[in-house]
Amino acid sequence: MIISIDTASDTPIYQQVRDEIIKLIGTKELKSGDELPTVRGLAEDLGINPMTIQKTYNILKNEGFVEIDRRIGVKVAGLKNLKDDNFEENLKKILLEGKARGYSQEELISEVKNLDI
């Protein structure tokens, strides 16, 4: 599982790791039922504090993306619709920023279509 973080970024590391894992789910590189690395293992790989990964996994659980089983570990949750007002708000916000930056409707749509290539 390829996750890259940037310790010099101003987004918190736990957040970056969350985003990266969600991206992997979005691209289907991680599918329902797939197991995620252990907290300790991933922390070592990334050279960061295990507590940071712990926090990431808790967030992902609360958001419904993963399930945590003390015996098995962490695995990607079954597909349900995780539609969320807050998410739609954020999506709209960034799409409007795109408009403000001068992107046309067509350009934004092609960004969406490019995801499935």
Three-state secondary structure call for residue 63? helix
Q: Is-contact 4 45, C-beta < 8 A?
A: no
Longest CA–CA span in the chain (Å) reads 51
Q: Is-contact 57 63, C-beta < 8 A?
A: no
Least Å from the CB of residue 50 to a copy of itself: 14
Q: Is-contact 5 48, C-beta < 8 A?
A: yes
Q: Is-contact 54 62, C-beta < 8 A?
A: no
How many residues contact a copy of itself, by CB under 8 A?
48
In the list 30, 74, 76, 77, the residue contacting DNA (rule: CB under 7 A) is 74
Distance CA 105, CA 99 (A): 8
Q: Is-contact 82 63, C-beta < 8 A?
A: yes
User: Is residue 94 close enough to count as binding a copy of itself by CB under 8 A?
Assistant: yes
Q: For the window 4-23, what string marks contact with a copy of itself as x by the rule CB under 8 A?
A: ---xx-x-xx-----x--xx
In the list 1, 27, 31, 41, the residue contacting DNA (rule: CB under 7 A) is 41
Binding residues for a copy of itself (CB under 8 A): 7-8, 10, 12-13, 19, 22-23, 25-27, 62, 65, 67-71, 79-84, 87-88, 90-103, 105, 108-109, 111-113, 115-116
Positions in the binding site for DNA (CB under 7 A): 7, 10, 12-15, 36, 38-41, 48-52, 54-55, 57-58, 61, 68, 70-71, 73-74
